[in-house]
Structure 1
Amino acid sequence: MLDWDLSDPFVLPLTVMPDAIDDYQHVNNAEYVRWLEQISWAHSAALGLDLKRYQALDRAMAVVRHEIDYLAAAREGEQLMLATWIVDCDGRLSLTRRFQLLRCEDKRCLLRGRTRFACIELSSGRPRRMPDEFTRIYRQALCSEEAGLK
């Protein structure tokens, strides 16, 4: 059993591929950011808000800020589990996700992160209020940080 920081994570299994490895023979930091984007999209799609739905509503959640703590290196061939939680949704403009990356072999936490998103209008790129559908769906998926903060 994996020791997640918060309950009921949305989890994405990952295998470290050769193209993720940098000259130091571990996963390049840019790859971790790609993984955070990948799980964010997968989670949103699982909630019913995929790219087609974003386009139909002319809205999107765009990254405003990443905070990433790199705790240990991942290496080629390792099996990892990446988790995400929505921990804040103001129902107007912003949404915050937390992330945790664990290595399956030793259950070591390799990364913790937080990303703040702002709702934008796709057609203009300008900040816009979240559609009611975003607010409803993302608030239903909220996880309380107080319940499992470590």
Structure 2
Amino acid sequence: MQTYESLLTVTEDDLDELNHVNNVRYVQWVQEVAKEHWVEFAPEELRESNFWIMLTHFIEYKSPAFLNDVLNLKTYVIKSEGVTSTRIVEILNNKTNKLLAKSETTWCFMSYETNKPARITNQVVKLFH
């Protein structure tokens, strides 16, 4: 299983009225780290012919993050079949390694040419497993 990690620091723009990270921000980070993982490992010709769309999103919030916390976003794909992949994103406090949130998303592999779902090839599976 290919794991991708990305660090970020919580800024004031990430906070809600309770002064912890807004739940919506976690959803944005899940989408961003998934895209970063794709861009990092997929060859250019594959990225130019295909893209991913999110079909379902489940997130479990475990503990809040606060201003200036450094977070480690860790992502990996647990299943790819047909036209869909299931991706996990774990958001951890980088200093304590405490799990703050965990998401499971289902993504659909799409063709730019047809703008329709495309079967996930062995090449794509090998990128993430």
TM range (shorter): 0.7 to 0.9
Q: Which residue of 1 aligns with 2:67?
A: 76
Alignment of 1:91-110 (within 5 A): 92-110=82-100
Alignment of 1:1-150 (within 5 A): 9-49=3-43, 53-54=46-47, 56-57=48-49, 59-90=50-81, 92-122=82-112, 125-130=115-120, 132=121, 135-142=122-129
2:12 partner amino acid: P
**Between the two proteins, what is the percent identity of the paired residues?**
21
CA distance in 1, matches of 2:105, 2:40: 19
Aligned residues: 129
Unaligned runs of 5+ residues in structure 2 are none
1:70 partner amino acid: Y
SS in 2 for 1:11: strand
CA distance in 1, matches of 2:34, 2:118: 20
C-alpha deviation, 1:99, in angstroms: 1.1
CA distance in 1, matches of 2:109, 2:39: 16
CA distance in 2, matches of 1:53, 1:137: 9
Across the aligned residues of Structure 1 and Structure 2, the Cα RMSD in angstroms comes to: 2.0
Q: Does the 8 A contact of 1:47 with 1:137 survive in 2?
A: no
Task: Sort the Cα spacing of 1:140 and 1:102 in 2 relative to 1 into closer, same or farther, 3 A.
Answer: same
C-alpha deviation, 1:49, in angstroms: 4.6
Superposed CA offset, 1:38-81 (max 9, x none): 1111111111256x743x31x32110001100001001110111
2:95 partner amino acid: E
Q: Does the 8 A contact of 2:2 with 2:77 survive in 1?
A: no
CA distance in 2, matches of 1:26, 1:124: 42
CA distance in 2, matches of 1:84, 1:123: 28
C-alpha deviation, 1:88, in angstroms: 0.8
Of Structure 1 and Structure 2, which has the larger fraction of its residues in strand? 2
SS in 2 for 1:107: coil
TM-score by length of 2: 0.87
TM-score by length of 1: 0.76
